[in-house]
Structure 1
Amino acid sequence: MTRNGIHHVTAIAGPTYRNLEFYGGILGLRLVKKTVNFDDPGTYHFYYGDEVGSPGSILTFFPWEHVAPGRLGIGETQETVFRIPAQSLGYWTHRLIAHGVRHEAPEKRFGETVLPFRDPDGMRLALAAVPGIGDEAAWTDGDIPAEHAIRGFHGVSLLLKEEGATGTILTDVLGFTRIGQEGTVVRFKAEGASIGGIVDIRVAGGFLPARMGAGSVHHVAFRAADDAAQAEMVEKLARNHGIRTTEQKDRNYFRSVYFREPGGVLFEIATDEPGFAVDEPVTTLGQSLKLPDFLEPRRDEIEAVLPQVA
């Protein structure tokens, strides 16, 4: 089965409490998994999304208490964009103002109204007002009415020196089609993707290179339905583009391979399987610290060094 689009976006954040308050409280996303960075288990790994953490709704963070700010530059994801119902733009404008969230004036992009804003670490975010999605299912467990709740990702924008080689990988390997251009921004859309279906490439020439830190996107993950689909994409990357991925890594909730695309952005290909309910019921997702089997014997040690969160 072919499933295209963005699986998740992973970013770097500052203090844990601030990250939880912003994404769970102000944006109203569900914390679907509280675990650790499998490669650095003294650091949390938070996963936010819709009710079940559907591919295309998942924004994840590595929060470090004292991380230095990042610097936007070439070879980085410039902006992560969520979908909201078109009629909810006014609601969200007022909500951002009420919570003191840095934001810009709404603007038009490819015929859509978009509201850009920043999180407390300076991460560039936006809300795209999308017609006709008001009846889609939405997660709500707070003060945001269901009719205004976020409906997963709209897409991401990449800040690159040039479009060519990256665009070819998007179309040849990752299931996207080049659908238009406005100025220096080229838009790609994943066929059949209702959420997480947009990648914009902003061509910026010889701009400064990116520097990772708080507010930076670490990587963008793209969907593969299963191991077989992922293996096919890996083979095509090597055969058609001379790019080798890492070996497959088991992330408990999906299985991943990673590669650096020609523009410098770290890409991941993640399986839709098995999902976030593999180690806890949907009703209690994100409520307790979950560790992979190989880290479970170190639970007491890990919990002792992690910041305390509710």
Structure 2
Amino acid sequence: MRKEDQLLGVHHVTAMTSDAVKNYEFFTKILGMRLVKKSVNQDDIYTYHTYFADDLGSPGTTMTFFDFPNNPKGKKGTNAITRTSFRVPNDAALEYYAQRFQEFNVKYQEITTEFEQKVLHFWDFDEQAYQLISDETNSGVKAGIPWKKGPVPEKFAIYGLGPVEISIAYFEQFKELFEGVLGFQTIKHEGNRYLLEVGEGGNGGQVILVDNQTSPQSQQGYGEVHHVAFRLANRKSLAVWQEIFTKLGLPNSGYVDRYYFESLYVRMGHILVELATDEPGFMGDEPYETLGEKLSLAPFLENRRTYIESVIKPFDTKRSE
């Protein structure tokens, strides 16, 4: 495979929330991530799709959410994406957030070290599992830009996605998919936890695979992750990967235009993996100053805007004066 077609790192993680408004407040007011797009699920217009990222919505910095109506609470277990990481610039940022979580009554654990990096585990109101990971000794995939007008000082603020944790009961077969197909390399392991990386590596290009044959089967629902996406440079690379997946007999979506990026989805066991392009990004339909303040729709949905706005519950995300 040509180098330009290889995966570049983590692109985004998409999860499910029970409440889009509470989720917005948690991510912007507590975590200090910027809402760069408020849209609807392109396959289910009755569902919000919100995107939280760095100051510019840079690739590799975005956490997104669906609020599916009548979605039950998910069940923790194996064969699932079990934790999402956010990168912060240094160890001092972990101390800052620990104090912040205490102030806002966010559930968290003491700072610890995993794979020689300091991390801070925490959970939101849906019991969605996250961690902050320090970039103090990190190198590899470049981070983004902290939200310049956010509530968290830039020197401490979240500015990218870190390793995505995936727990699997059929560990060896799944690990072979990530290594033999997607091009990840195992670089460390601690007990039943294995650290894999791709592209330039480092916190922005890693996954943690957990060999978990004892927990019950997880169930999708709010508080759980829907899928993980990895970065590709452009659309030409999507065609290369579609051919690979098809030849291997891996179920895939074919080309999908998500407007903010172009995508290809593939099912690897229980895990839905998306490959998404860095281009065109989130800056094309809104000015920088008011990103995320209006309901943004892909062009093919614009002629239904009046109807969509009448059936989806509005919520105020206006921050500019």
TM-score, normalised to structure 2's length?
Answer: 0.90
Q: Aligned to 1:171, which of 172, 179, 204?
A: 179
Q: Can you list the C-alpha shifts for 1:255-283, whole angstroms capped at 9, x where unaligned?
A: 11112113x11111111111111222233
Equivalence map 1:100-119=2 (5 Å): 100-119=105-124
Q: CA deviation at 1:103?
A: 0.9
| Aligned-residue RMSD, C-alpha | 1.9
Q: Does 1:90 align with 2:95?
A: yes
SS at the partner of 2:283? Answer: helix
| Aligned ranges 1:261-272 → 2 under 5 Å | 261-262=268-269, 264-272=270-278
With 92-101 and 70-79 compared, the bigger mean Cα shift is at 70-79
SS of alignment partner, residue 28 of structure 1: coil
Q: Which moved more, 1:221-230 or 1:159-168?
A: 159-168
Deviations 1:28-66 (A, max 9, x none): 101111110011101110011011211111100002465
* TM-score relative to the length of structure 1: 0.93
Contiguous gaps of at least 5 residues in structure 1: none
Which one of the candidate residues 123, 127, 144 is aligned to 1:122? Answer: 127
Determine the structure 2 residue equivalent to 1:224.
232
Matched, 1:215 2:223: yes
Deviations 1:102-126 (A, max 9, x none): 1122222111121111011110001
1:148 to 152, 156, 159: 156
Deviates more, 1:106-115 or 1:26-35: 106-115
Query: In structure 2, what is the Cα distance between the partners aligned to 1:136 and 1:236?
Result: 30
The match for 2:289 is: 283
Q: How many residues align?
A: 308
Instruction: Sort the Cα spacing of 1:26 and 1:230 in 2 relative to 1 into closer, same or farther, 3 A.
Output: same
Letter matched to residue 17 of structure 2: A
Q: Distance in 2 between matches of 1:82 and 1:149?
A: 10
Deviation at 1:13, TM superposition (A): 0.3
1:301 paired to 2:302: no
Contact 1:177/1:191 (<8 A) preserved: no
Helix, strand or coil: the match of 1:35? strand
Secondary structure of the 1:232 match is helix
In structure 2, the gaps of 5 or more residues are 317-321
Alignment of 1:236 with 2:241, yes or no, is no
Q: Which moved more, 1:184-193 or 1:150-159?
A: 184-193
> Which segments of structure 1 move beyond 4 Å, counting only runs of 4 or more?
none
Of 13, 26, 34 in structure 1, the residue corresponding to residue 38 of structure 2 is 34
Of stretches 167-176 and 246-255 in structure 1, the one that deviates more from structure 2 is: 167-176
Alpha-carbon separation, structure 2, partners of 1:101 and 1:297? 41
Counterpart of 2:290 in structure 1: which amino acid? T
Q: Distance in 1 between matches of 2:162 and 2:230?
A: 13
Distance in 2 (CA, whole Å) between partners of 1:137 and 1:43 is 29
Structure-2 residue corresponding to 1:246: 253
Contact 1:81–1:155 (CA<8 Å) still a contact in 2? yes
TM-fit CA distance, 1:23: 0.5
Look up the match of 1:260.
267
Counterpart for residue 23 of structure 1? 27
